[in-house]
Amino acid sequence: MTTPAPTYPKTFATTESFAQGLDANDPLRHYRDQFHLPRGADGKPLIYFCSHSLGLQPRTVQSLMAQELQNWAELGVEGHFEGKTPWYTYQELLRDSAARLVGAKADEVVFMNGLTVNLHLLMTTFYRPDSRRYKILMDEPTFPSDLYAAKSQLSRKGLDPAEALLTIKPRPGRHTISVEEIEDFLEARGRETALVLLSGVNFLTGQWFDMPRITAAAKRQGCAVGFDLAHAVGNVPLHLHDWHVDFAVWCTYKYLNSGPGAVAGCFVHEQHGRNIALPRLAGWWGNDPDTRFQMQLQPEFVPQFGADGWQVSNPPIFALVPIRASQALYDEAGMPALRAKSECLTAYLLYLLDQFPLGEFEVVTPRDPAQRGCQLSLLVRNHPKERLEALGKSGVVGDFREPNTIRVAPAPFYNTFQEVWRFAQILGQQVA
């Protein structure tokens, strides 16, 4: 049963007892026990604020994996069609949960490959330049792998990335991009843009873009719209179908807690999924399942409807197991409840950071909860790497991005308000 969205306080206090009280009254506090928590040399759990990079392992993963290993051992190839969870239809165990997480219909989502591979596959379909409309618009800074993919797609089409790749970046003195700036940019240059490819949540700043408004603005100019949701899925509420996003890709190893290098997900809006004439890179698992096993007797590729039609190879079952474990927890808790706690955790952290003297660091993530997920990015002015090293020695797991940004993300499944308070005390000792 999905947990009803709880109500959290809007005002805070700086005492440890206040944080302890929030934890005592938190209806999601029991989910912390559903994950393996990294521990320090003293055996105590570390303050793990790094789910924006790699989420923690759900405790049920081991038993679910053992079941599939047993199926392989006992059934061999027959495991594709026999046993409790036949591999041939294993994806169906994940589809409805994935659709709920991204606000999609079940046949609009599929798990396959890695994020950048999926981005290439979908750009093959949705980036179709002509002599007048041939540019790609991205946000800056964007995740390097997305940038590499976009530049290579441009080069493959015989275009010069220096001219055909448009980027929109924060104005001087600012760290984020307003939706109005994006709308103005599209109004000015949308007619020469074939594809708008933006982050859902920016990897460096933690800014959550106004995806429906941006999508609408891009569609008014005739652009195709895709999003990289690596830092958004499982972090913020999404409604891709209703927003009329053309496609999206995401990894599952961050907030979806599915393990390093886990299988990625993708979304294709049904208006495209039902158009089997769309160009794509074909593979046997994307073929119509009614003729898939006719093989040499059916040499022509006939894509199946929905996002499944963009599959190339059969899914790696062992790599899907952690996704199944994680999504079961999302189904049980529900994004409304997780989002409510996340907003409070991050707001509480921001409140505590605001108590520090000005000058040592700056929070560059938007202060408006509607423009951020759980991540806060701190621009550190003096010795940023040394700051992170000191945090690590004090039991905090965050990460660093060149040249001077420390990222921390209190995740609602397993982080506590007292951990937020303790982190603020540890950081405060550095800047005092």
Residue by residue, pLDDT tens for the chain (432 residues) are 566 778 898 899 999 999 999 999 999 999 999 999 999 999 999 999 999 999 999 999 999 999 999 999 999 999 999 999 999 999 999 999 999 999 999 999 999 999 999 999 999 999 999 999 999 999 999 999 999 999 999 999 999 999 999 999 999 999 999 999 999 999 999 999 999 999 999 999 999 999 999 999 999 999 999 999 999 999 999 999 999 999 999 999 999 999 999 999 999 999 999 999 999 999 999 999 888 888 787 888 999 999 999 999 999 999 999 999 999 999 999 999 999 999 999 999 999 999 998 778 899 999 999 999 999 999 998 888 999 999 999 999 999 999 999 999 999 999 999 999 999 999 998 876
Q: For residue 297, what pLDDT is reported?
A: 78
Residue whose pair of structure tokens reads 């330049």 in the numeric block: 129
| Neighbouring C-beta atoms of residue 351, cutoff 10 Å | 15
Question: Residue 110: helix, strand or coil by DSSP?
Answer: strand
Pairwise CA distance, residues 109 & 313, whole Å? 16
11: buried, middle or exposed (CB in 10 Å: 19+, 13-18, 0-12)?
Answer: exposed
Contacts (Cβ under 8 Å, ≥6 apart) of 274: 305, 306
- Phi, psi for residue 287 in degrees, rounded to 5: -75, 155
Q: How many residues comprise the chain?
A: 432
E-assigned strand segments in 157-306? 165-168, 193-199, 224-228, 247-250, 265-268
Cα 106 to Cα 39, 160, 232, 278, 302: the distances in Å are 38, 38, 19, 20, 20
The stretches of 227-370 forming alpha helices (DSSP H) are: 240-243, 270-273, 317-333, 335-353
Q: Which H or E run contains 154?
A: helix 144-156
Packing angle, helices 335-353 and 16-24, rounded to 10: 180
Q: What pLDDT does residue 286 have? A: 95
Predicted pLDDT at 2: 65
Q: Which amino acid is at 215?
A: T
Question: Does an H or E element contain 131, and which?
Answer: none
3-class secondary structure, 318: helix
| 159-166, long-range: CB < 8 A, 24+ apart | 159/129, 159/134, 164/129, 164/134, 164/135, 164/136, 165/135, 165/136, 165/138, 166/135, 166/136, 166/137, 166/138, 166/193
Helix, coil or strand: residue 61: helix
CB 59 within 8 A of CB 34: yes
DSSP for 64-104? HHHHHHHHHHHHGGGGGTSSSS-GGGTTHHHHHHHHHHHT-
Helix axes 179-189, 211-220, angle to 10 degrees: 10
User: Which is the CATH superfamily of the domain at 16-34+335-431?
Assistant: Aspartate Aminotransferase, domain 1 (3.90.1150.10)
Domain extents in the chain: 16-34+335-431, 67-330
Start-to-end CA span in the chain (Å): 46
**pLDDT at residue 398, as a whole number:** 96
What pLDDT is stored for residue 360 in this prediction? Answer: 82
**What's residue 247's pLDDT?**
98
**Rounded-to-integer distance, Cα 164 and Cα 341, Å:** 42
Rg of the chain's alpha carbons, rounded to an integer? 22
Residues 6 or more apart in contact with residue 21 via CB below 8 angstroms: none
Alpha-carbon distances of 323 from 38, 61, 193, 365, rounded to whole Å: 20, 9, 35, 28
Architecture of domain 67-330: 3-Layer(aba) Sandwich (3.40)
